[in-house]
């Protein structure tokens, strides 16, 4: 595995020429013969790097508007020919095929084109044929060929060739072959997902670039990794490495806080909000959120949609918490928060998450659309004699957002855009309500005039009766139970207002 193989001949054909110059200068200075195509050939000539055209090898021009350039036996024979295989070596000699020791290639930017305003025909034209074939060929014959499938590997390649005097080991070539198959499989997945979205043909394909080893999984005895690029979502300004459970909480935190336009602070624990409030002032929002459950807030994940100022930082610094995520930080606020060595401080970026979610299950994968429905005042149907007042409507919408992001069965009690109590992840709806009422009482809240939100319909009138006795004045729920009339009748007899949304928000 440690024996080095000298690079004598290279094929270079790339769409993106950024950072290519140091590599080709090193190859040229090492006496490597370089073959290239079209724009890459012109680029190398502009650097006064000696280079041969692929056409001089194949005696065939680039045709079909550049669709066919490298698809030729003299190119692929030079990549796939096996050293030490007598038949391969004899045929390469017979047809005068040069052996390629290094192939540097990249792919047309299909995903970038797909994300743009490009037409269907333009997107299809960015499906690479020659490049993907070169990548697969070089990776297949990694025993003899060093394949470089992307500019992402240029720095590693430059260091490798500089240290090893333009040679590679079998271990090096196998590692780069793995990079190559990662690139090709990701590329093909993106193309499949696009074409299948048009044709209606359904199979599951998902690919994420990059990976991050985690300290462990959900528990210390489980191994954990994250696949994706977290740098697109936030910048880590301070603190220890993120854990598996941290990432779960951050996903829940970002999903919840993104629902609010008014200044809002939330505290997340085990994927549920244990405190959340909206206020005109950030410090007031924090204090109200913390008051919702100051016990559960210990060791939690804090998230806000407003830049964090020094005044608020002074207050939150009184609490032990693991992570804070905010869109920006005042200088003095950041300096104060950084006084705790392990505290994770994240600056949120604007990021457009995919609209699908999936999880491994049994012997396959379960996929669905994300729950991106957020009810507004226009979605509320008053079903009782009494209609909610304006301030209650604001609280109903607030509570409904929070319950949407709570584990089912879920109940949220709120007043003045502050969560007073919640019951989440319970096996019955009435148990969730008991839990919410108990928590509100434990932290000194008076539920008189508060509202109640439920993620699904009430199967019986008992929950509304219990809520009324605790002081709840208005209710929001999807409706849809065969006993809805019993619940409505109870509200009418006791002066409660209730609205139906027609939308269930189960979350498991």
Q: Which residues are catalytic?
A: 140, 270
Q: In 302-334, which positions are buried (b, 16+ CB within 10 angstroms) versus exposed (e)?
A: bbbbbebbeebbeebbeeebbbbbbeebeeebb
* C-alpha to C-alpha distance for 78 and 98, rounded to whole angstroms: 5
Rounded to 5 degrees, φ, ψ at 343 are -60, 130
Residue 413's H or E segment, with its range, is: strand 411-415
Cα angle value 234/237/241 (rounded, 5°): 80
* C-alpha to C-alpha distance for 386 and 475, rounded to whole angstroms: 11
Q: Comparing C-alpha atoms, which of 90, 87, 102, 91 is closest to residue 30?
A: 102
Start-end of H helices in 339-471: 390-404, 429-442, 462-470
Q: Comparing C-alpha atoms, which of 78, 70, 116 is closest to residue 100?
A: 78
With contact defined as beta carbons under 8 Å apart, do 464 and 437 qualify?
Answer: no
Work out the angle between the directed axes of helices 154-163 and 21-29 (0-180°, nearest 10).
Answer: 20
């Amino acid at each position: 595995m440690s024996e080095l193989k000298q690079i004598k001949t290279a094929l270079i054909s790339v769409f993106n020429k950024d950072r290519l110059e140091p590599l080709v200068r090193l190859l040229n200075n090492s006496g490597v013969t370089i073959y290239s195509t079209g724009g890459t050939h012109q680029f190398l000539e502009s650097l006064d790097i000696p280079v041969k055209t692929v056409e001089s090898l194949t005696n065939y021009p680039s045709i079909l508007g550049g669709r066919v350039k490298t698809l030729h036996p003299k190119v692929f024979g030079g990549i796939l020919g096996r050293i030490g295989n007598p038949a391969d070596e004899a045929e390469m000699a017979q047809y005068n095929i040069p052996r390629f020791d290094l192939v540097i290639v990249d792919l047309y930017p299909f995903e970038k084109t797909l994300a743009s305003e490009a037409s269907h025909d333009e997107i299809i034209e960015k499906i690479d044929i020659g490049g993907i074939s070169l990548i697969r060929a070089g990776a297949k014959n990694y025993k003899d060929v060093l394949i470089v499938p992307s500019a992402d590997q240029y720095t590693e390649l430059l260091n490798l060739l500089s240290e090893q005097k333009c040679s590679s080991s079998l271990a090096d070539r196998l590692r780069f072959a793995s990079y190559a198959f990662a690139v090709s499989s990701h590329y093909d997945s993106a193309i499949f997902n696009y074409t299948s979205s048009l044709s209606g043909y359904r199979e599951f394909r998902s690919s994420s670039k990059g990976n991050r080893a985690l300290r462990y999984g959900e528990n210390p005895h489980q191994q954990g990794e994250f696949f994706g690029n977290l740098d697109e979502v936030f910048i880590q300004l301070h603190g220890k490495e993120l854990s598996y459970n941290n990432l779960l909480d951050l996903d829940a935190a970002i999903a919840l806080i993104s629902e609010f336009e008014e200044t809002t602070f939330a505290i997340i624990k085990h994927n549920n909000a244990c405190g959340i409030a909206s206020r005109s002032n950030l410090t007031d929002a924090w204090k109200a959120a913390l008051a919702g459950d100051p016990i559960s807030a210990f060791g939690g994940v804090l998230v806000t949609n407003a830049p964090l100022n020094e005044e608020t930082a002074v207050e939150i610094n009184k609490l032990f918490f693991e992570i804070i995520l905010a869109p920006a930080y005042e200088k003095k606020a950041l300096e104060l928060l950084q006084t705790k060595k392990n505290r994770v401080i994240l600056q949120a970026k604007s990021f457009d998450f995919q609209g699908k979610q999936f999880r491994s299950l049994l012997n396959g994968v379960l996929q669905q659309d994300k729950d991106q429905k957020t009810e507004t005042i226009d979605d509320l149907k008053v079903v009782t004699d009494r209609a909610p007042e304006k301030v209650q409507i604001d609280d109903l919408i607030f509570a409904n957002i929070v319950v949407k992001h709570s584990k089912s069965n879920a109940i949220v009690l709120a007043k003045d855009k502050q969560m007073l109590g919640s019951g989440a992840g319970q096996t019955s709806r009435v148990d969730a309500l008991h839990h919410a009422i108990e928590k509100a009482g434990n932290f000194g809240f008076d539920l008189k005039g508060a509202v109640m939100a439920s993620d699904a319909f009430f199967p019986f009138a008992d929950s509304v009766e219990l809520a009324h006795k605790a002081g709840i004045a208005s209710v929001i729920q999807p409706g849809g139970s065969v006993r809805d009339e019993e619940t409505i009748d109870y509200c009418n007899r006791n002066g409660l207002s209730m609205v139906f949304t027609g939308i269930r928000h189960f979350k498991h």
